[in-house]
Structure 1
Amino acid sequence: MISYHSIEDIVNLCNENNMSFWQVILRADASERMAAEDASFAAMRDMYRAMKRADAEYDKTLKSPSGLSGGDGEKMRKYNKDGKNLCGPFMGLAMEKAIKMGESNACMKRIVAAPTAGSCGVIPAVFLAYEECFNVPEDKIVKAMFVSAGVGAVIAENASIAGASGGCQAEIGSASAMAAAGLAYLEGGDAECISNAMAFALKNMLGLTCDPVCGLVEVPCIKRNSAGAVNAISSAQMAMAGIRSAITPDEVIDSMRRIGNELPACLKETGEGGLAVTPSALKIKERLN
């Protein structure tokens, strides 16, 4: 039985068994669920296709019940289409898809929590944009999903993926780290490269507060999904260039846990601090009440 509790465990299992990162996670998942590996792979493919459907069903005309979100994904699409993209077609498309998914969540559309509803846009944005821009087989993306899942499982076990306990670093930060790892795999990175991509992405998000305006998963959450996707792409590119993190991946995760524990309650999803108590936010709250 293959099992892991740290990023180091996964890297060691890759080296000891001459397996890819995704294969270690697949085998562990199949063993834990007492299912065939083919069944585990099919279940992950279904998850990815659910992300695809959620992206395809984005409705630019919808507004959230609060009126705080809706339509910005369409603005990004038009900006990209008009050739004004500042950062290239792949990153621009990922930004667009991340906002669309976040808006769909706010508008009560079906999404995939990856790893949470509040961070649902990061992973699908990166992977869907990658498949579209680089024309890779769907099975390759599904393998990247396993890479992301393995990273997410380690973060969940050793730190947190919940804003209420760890701040937004635990949600957008975790999603960005998961996406960066999967993207490094897609670009041909080995287990060491994948783990460094994850480390860069999570380090960049350390200390990120969860301060939703009116307690809604809209402001600033939706735009943070876009930032998380961009962070994942830049982190994967650094790792693919051969840059290595001075802090080990598992120590980065440990640091996120410590920082999350030290954050005051007002910065952990309560809507009682940070952006949630600015004059602009208080005006929105007064309007909604």
Structure 2
Amino acid sequence: MRSLNEILEGCVASGRSFAAQALAAESAETGSSPDSIRAGLAGRLKDMEFSVKEAASGSWRGLLVPEEAFLLEEYGKKGTGFSSPFVLTAARISISVATYNSAMGRIVAAPTAGSCGILPGILFACREHLEADDESLIDGLITAAAVGEVTEARATLAGASGGCQAECGAAAAMGSAALVTIRGGSPDEVCHAVALTFKSVLGLVCDPVGGLVESPCIKRNGLLVSLGTLAADFALAGMKSLIPADEVIDAMGQVGRALPETLRETGLGGLAASPTGRELARKLLD
């Protein structure tokens, strides 16, 4: 798949939902039956669930970042947060899974290891707060996968090629599209959610301290679930992106190619090049 607009046009012609049309398009491209594709994604959902449960079962840390997701859980219980319970849950799960990844835990790289917490954070917050069943979550995952596939075809999903806009940004856009699908939004609203999310992260650099996918990556996972969630709310409220989703993705690719090498996962610029970032990197080497 190379175009969200083509999926959208297919929805108009067939009367299918975005997820159903994306599934039909994937089946036509690959020759795999829709049932087998759904079964494969059901397996990935189970893998994500494993990661979520394992991440919550113990105290994990990477070389730099300790486990901090529990702080959000305790804070959420107070009921004084500015963010909704849904967003706080999604952020907690996202940070937990991203930390678990740093501790060499088993995760689903959707779309990448560095952004692995965002999609499960959003999906399993839907289970906790919206009572979404597996079939609804799989529909959301189908939509998210289509967004990721189009993004990879038109631009990139690699921080080394396009900065973190291509990793955490893409994951947030995928999650936003999944939310609209799970809520029963229209195909057009799915595309606007994607565009609104990507427009808000254009130019986001990839600047891992010490070259590790920990700082700022883990907290960036948690923070960007809120962006994807709000973009879904915008789209479901009827707000639209002036620039079509495919063109926004194209722009993301252009911006990524224009970023200097120091801001593309090399650990040589941005926060990685700050005095504290450099000192932490030296300590790791020692």
For the aligned pair, the TM-score class normalised by the smaller chain equals: over 0.9
Once the two structures are TM-superposed, the CA of residue 137 in structure 1 deviates from its matched residue by: 1.7
Once the two structures are TM-superposed, the CA of residue 90 in structure 1 deviates from its matched residue by: 0.5
One-letter code of the match for 2:196? F
The residue that corresponds to 2:259 in the other structure is 263
Equivalent in 113, 117, 130 of residue 117 of structure 1: 113
Equivalent in 17, 21, 31 of residue 20 of structure 1: 17
Equivalent in 174, 178, 192 of residue 174 of structure 2: 178
Farther off after superposition, 202-211 or 81-90:
81-90
Q: Could you tell me how far apart the structure 2 residues matched to 1:33 and 1:217 are?
A: 33
One-letter code of the match for 1:113? A
The residue that corresponds to 1:237 in the other structure is 233
Equivalent in 109, 112, 126 of residue 122 of structure 2: 126
Q: Could you tell me how far apart the structure 2 residues matched to 1:188 and 1:35 are?
A: 26
Q: Could you tell me how far apart the structure 2 residues matched to 1:285 and 1:137 are?
A: 44
Q: Could you tell me how far apart the structure 1 residues matched to 2:225 and 2:61 are?
A: 23
Equivalent in 136, 139, 158 of residue 135 of structure 2: 139
Q: Could you tell me how far apart the structure 2 residues matched to 1:62 and 1:198 are?
A: 32
Could you tell me whether the CA contact under 8 Å between 1:168 and 1:209 is conserved in 2? yes
Describe the SS at the equivalent of 1:205. coil
**What value does the CA root-mean-square deviation take over the aligned residues?**
1.1
TM-score by length of 2: 0.96
Could you tell me whether the CA contact under 8 Å between 1:73 and 1:99 is conserved in 2? yes
Could you tell me whether the CA contact under 8 Å between 2:48 and 2:108 is conserved in 1? yes
Once the two structures are TM-superposed, the CA of residue 82 in structure 1 deviates from its matched residue by: 3.1
Farther off after superposition, 125-134 or 84-93:
84-93
Could you tell me which runs of 5 or more consecutive residues in structure 2 were left unpaired when the two chains were aligned.
none
Could you tell me whether the CA contact under 8 Å between 1:145 and 1:182 is conserved in 2? yes
Q: Could you tell me how far apart the structure 2 residues matched to 1:25 and 1:11 are?
A: 9
Once the two structures are TM-superposed, the CA of residue 42 in structure 1 deviates from its matched residue by: 1.1
One-letter code of the match for 1:286? R
Q: Could you tell me how far apart the structure 2 residues matched to 1:211 and 1:153 are?
A: 24
Q: Could you tell me how far apart the structure 2 residues matched to 1:125 and 1:225 are?
A: 9
Could you tell me whether the CA contact under 8 Å between 2:172 and 2:228 is conserved in 1? yes
Could you tell me whether the CA contact under 8 Å between 1:60 and 1:70 is conserved in 2? no
The residue that corresponds to 1:196 in the other structure is 192
Q: Identity, % of aligned pairs? A: 37
Q: Could you tell me how far apart the structure 2 residues matched to 1:111 and 1:82 are?
A: 30
One-letter code of the match for 1:53? F
The residue that corresponds to 2:160 in the other structure is 164
Matching of residues 1-289 of structure 1 within 5 Å: 4-58=1-55, 59-64=57-62, 66=63, 68-289=64-285
Could you tell me which runs of 5 or more consecutive residues in structure 1 were left unpaired when the two chains were aligned.
none
One-letter code of the match for 2:14? N
One-letter code of the match for 2:59? T
Once the two structures are TM-superposed, the CA of residue 91 in structure 1 deviates from its matched residue by: 0.7
Aligned residues: 284
User: Residue deviations 1:64-107, cap 9 Å, x none?
Assistant: 2x1x1231112211211233332121011011011001101100
Moved over 6 A (4+): none
Q: Could you tell me how far apart the structure 2 residues matched to 1:28 and 1:134 are?
A: 28
Could you tell me whether the CA contact under 8 Å between 1:60 and 1:71 is conserved in 2? no
Q: Could you tell me how far apart the structure 2 residues matched to 1:23 and 1:126 are?
A: 20
User: Residue deviations 1:211-268, cap 9 Å, x none?
Assistant: 0000000000011111221100000000011001111111101110110010000000
Once the two structures are TM-superposed, the CA of residue 28 in structure 1 deviates from its matched residue by: 2.5
Q: Could you tell me how far apart the structure 2 residues matched to 1:240 and 1:136 are?
A: 18
Q: Could you tell me how far apart the structure 1 residues matched to 2:38 and 2:219 are?
A: 31
Q: Could you tell me how far apart the structure 2 residues matched to 1:113 and 1:134 are?
A: 24
Describe the SS at the equivalent of 2:113. coil
Q: Could you tell me how far apart the structure 1 residues matched to 2:54 and 2:262 are?
A: 35
